[in-house]
Structure 1
Amino acid sequence: MKDLLYYQDATISAFHANIIKTDRDENGNYIVLDNTAFYPTGGGQPHDTGWIQDIEIINVEKVEDEIRHYTSNNVSGISGEIFAKLNWTRRFDHMQQHTGQHILTAAFVELFDMATTSFHLGTELVTIDLNVNDVTDAQLADAEQRANEIILDNRPIETKWVTKDELANYNLRKDVKVDEDIRLVIIPDYDYNGCGGTHPMSTGQVGLLKILTTEKMKQQIRVHFVCGNRVLQQLAMRKNVLSDVARQLSAPEEQASEALRKFATAAKQTEKNLKDAQDALLQFEAKEFANENIAARTFENRSIQDLQKLARFITEQNDQAVALLVSTNDDKLQFVAARGKANTTSMKTVSTAALPIINGKGGGSDALVQGGGEKVIPAEALLEAMNAAL
């Protein structure tokens, strides 16, 4: 493995090699070279992409002892020596993020003895899972600061192939899971870790590290962060969002948070006022039915919540009454049946009669039921069936 080009020099972005095999498997057409700088998926790091001659390589996987370069092109006709080129922007991004993960993970261990249990390098964000139930904002800030100190120190990043017996000579952050082809990635006097990924020559090439957010994952804490060019991408995205919010609030960006807080408070009050006004209208509407022992009506586009409230207001104003309300909502029929406190009729008899007619579902109690189903009959016909069930 140590002879592979991406291990000899992680900065190789173009190379010559010979084709030793072309074939197809369940993942598609692939090319096998006598050596390669294309990194295959592994160790939490995504695969490289690029080109072999003018053929686009879209995936790279290690299958048994082969590194297969996958393409959607037909590869049966190519052979001999080729020229290959990596998508260097993608590769360098992966190197920045992967090295940043090493640095941040080591910072959590050094400062708080928090170990990383898993690592994921996504297309936009990077995550590590810490083996703790909680982490404070102050701890996150300290770990971020320590990681950026190591980055700004521009410490060399060394790689070394060792035997299993030689591992005792190194203060490893975690146990190595393999017995041979053991490769260490070393940031001197800071982090010693078994890793098969690609990394830059020094920590300074990571550029910058920024923790963005955290979330609880079962009994662990997931930390989302970005490094290098992704920090600039995240900053640009957040700047655009902040500018848009500030513009819509007619406030300076530095005052957008307070303006948004005031807007949200006003919106909640407006929503409450609107709800109170709607309830008042429903109570006024209920007065129309106050003298009816069976208040039966059909409506268009009334929500089930409005039907429930109207039925309640009707039966509060006349505790002997039964309210039977049906609404046509697009291609659905919905209904509510309710009784006043002085009425002993079970409303379940109404839903038992109504639901089979409209192939519907519903539920409730003896005092109030509701349901809905298909508009297979007019609303007036359903209302008649409900009335007949009393």
Structure 2
Amino acid sequence: MTIKIFYKDPYIKSFTAKVIKQRQDHEGKWYVVLDKTAFYPTGGGQPHDIGSLNGSNVERVDDVEGEVRHYVQAPIDEIDNVKGEINWLIRFDHMQQHAGQHILSATFEELFGFKTVSFHLGKELCTIDLDIPELSLRDAEKAEGYANQIILENRPIEARWMNKEEVDQYELRKELSVEENIRLVIIPGFDYNGCGGTHPDTTGQVVAIKLLNWEKQRQRIRLEFVCGDRVRNQLGKKQSIINQLNQLLSSPEANLVTVVERLLKNEKEMGKSLQETREKLFNYEVTELTNNYEVINGTNVVGKVFDELSMKELQKIAKLVVGNKKDVVAILINTTKAKLQLVVARGSEVNLSMSELIKNSLLIIDGKGGGNEELAQGGGEPTITGEQFLQEIKEVMK
């Protein structure tokens, strides 16, 4: 069993230890087990520490039945006097976020009776899942304000090892997952919670809590938040974006929402106008096509090559053509840099099978497609031009 000295002193930044095991796992990755360690292993929603052992980077730390495995880039040569260095910035960030989660979860439970059922400490954001179906802005703001008041009061945060009888003296926020060697993290008069994570020794060191967003996840609310230096980092990122928008939109911050709403409205109106224009162009195309057909093997055929239309638009033109002229077959081709697309359709007075026509036509370009007797579509590699493709399809029909 590795002695976990981070429990005695979560502020420890370096230590010396002895290697008691050095192995490769089933993936061939080296790990080191020490007689004692200040590296926190992944667990309880908190990520592992990183740092180095004798200069070799520690990239992952796992706890396997009390054996703390330090995954290193290379084996350790000196096994009797190993110096461990903790990445303090990351360790303290984890301490701030984890303590902030305790404060936030206790706040929601004290104010509203909302229980926290899970916690995740990510690289940039933290989340808790509240066992409620909805969260109002009013309740969220009230909880954020109260949590920050607890931080401002700079209350002590204590961690104590207890047995079950000692724990029974406290009103715990959630049920314990163990019955012996219980570690209780305490903010006196506010929160009592079984936890194996690392925490600062006062709430003031959490600095601040900021709720960022929340959304419904199944029948629960997942709430995003940040604490400590992450609040400043988030503010910096968001301010940078606002400054860029100020310049792009030539608008002060207070008017950004109004300006964006106006732009979106204008875009919607322009999109509607553009669609109406395209509809007129489609109708013009349909008129031109139905007035310019040729007879192939006793069947009236209209054909045209388009550039950069969508398959949906190609299908629409084809349907309009055969709807207006019921004794015609429409062969419409669309060209892009990446492929040739084909739509064939027949009017109600034509007996040719479009699924058969598409199958025979796509053999020309080694393409794929399908459809039914009235309408079929497909595509393939642009091995020939659209005009050549159209002529060869006409040859197929002869």
- TM-score if structure 2 supplies the norm length? 0.89
Match of 1:325 among 316, 321, 332: 332
CA contact (8 A) 1:354 1:386 kept: no
Paired amino acid for 1:207: V
Q: Compute the displacement of 1:24 (Å).
A: 3.0
Alignment partner, residue 315 of structure 1: 322
Q: Name the CA distance, whole Å, in 2 between partners of 1:55 and 1:286.
A: 72
Q: Compute the displacement of 1:283 (Å).
A: 2.0
Secondary structure of the residue aligned to 1:144 is helix
Q: Compute the displacement of 1:188 (Å).
A: 1.1
CA contact (8 A) 2:306 2:333 kept: yes
**How do 1:210-289 and structure 2 match up within 5 A?**
210-289=210-289
Alignment partner, residue 56 of structure 1: 57
- Structure 1 stretch 131-140 or stretch 376-385: which is displaced more? 376-385
C-alpha distance 220-356 of structure 1, shift in aligned 2 (>3 A): farther
Q: Does 1:335 align with 2:342?
A: yes
C-alpha distance 243-144 of structure 1, shift in aligned 2 (>3 A): same
Q: Compute the displacement of 1:203 (Å).
A: 0.8
Alignment partner, residue 97 of structure 2: 97
Q: Name the CA distance, whole Å, in 1 between partners of 2:376 and 2:64.
A: 62
Deviations 1:80-130 (A, max 9, x none): 223332111000000000011111111221222221111111100001112
CA contact (8 A) 2:23 2:31 kept: yes
Paired amino acid for 1:72: Q
CA contact (8 A) 1:7 1:198 kept: yes
CA contact (8 A) 1:60 1:68 kept: yes
Q: Does 1:43 align with 2:50?
A: no
C-alpha distance 110-361 of structure 1, shift in aligned 2 (>3 A): farther
Cα RMSD (Å) of the superposition? 2.5
Deviations 1:6-35 (A, max 9, x none): 111211222233333433334622333322
CA contact (8 A) 2:308 2:336 kept: yes
Alignment partner, residue 69 of structure 1: 70
Alignment partner, residue 171 of structure 1: 171
C-alpha distance 38-163 of structure 1, shift in aligned 2 (>3 A): same
Deviations 1:278-329 (A, max 9, x none): 2222322222222234212233443323322322343344343331112233
CA contact (8 A) 1:44 1:121 kept: yes
CA contact (8 A) 2:52 2:86 kept: yes
Secondary structure of the residue aligned to 1:108 is helix
Secondary structure of the residue aligned to 2:123 is coil
Q: Name the CA distance, whole Å, in 1 between partners of 2:115 and 2:21.
A: 42
Q: Structure 1: give runs of 5+ residues left out of the alignment.
A: none
Secondary structure of the residue aligned to 2:10 is coil
- Structure 1 stretch 42-51 or stretch 373-382: which is displaced more? 373-382
Q: Structure 2: give runs of 5+ residues left out of the alignment.
A: 294-299
Alignment partner, residue 188 of structure 1: 188
- TM-score if structure 1 supplies the norm length? 0.91
Deviations 1:344-380 (A, max 9, x none): 6553443344355555444445443322234466644
**How do 1:293-372 and structure 2 match up within 5 A?**
293-340=300-347, 347-355=354-362, 358-372=365-379
Secondary structure of the residue aligned to 1:133 is coil
Alignment partner, residue 296 of structure 2: none
Paired amino acid for 2:247: R
CA contact (8 A) 2:329 2:347 kept: yes
Paired amino acid for 2:145: Q
CA contact (8 A) 1:2 1:8 kept: no
C-alpha distance 48-190 of structure 1, shift in aligned 2 (>3 A): same
Q: Compute the displacement of 1:152 (Å).
A: 1.2
Q: Name the CA distance, whole Å, in 1 between partners of 2:139 and 2:194.
A: 26
C-alpha distance 372-48 of structure 1, shift in aligned 2 (>3 A): same
Q: Name the CA distance, whole Å, in 2 between partners of 1:317 and 1:246.
A: 52
Paired amino acid for 2:101: Q
Paired amino acid for 2:311: I
Identical residues among aligned pairs (%): 44
Q: Name the CA distance, whole Å, in 2 between partners of 1:265 and 1:129.
A: 36
C-alpha distance 3-385 of structure 1, shift in aligned 2 (>3 A): closer
Paired amino acid for 1:162: M
C-alpha distance 376-83 of structure 1, shift in aligned 2 (>3 A): closer
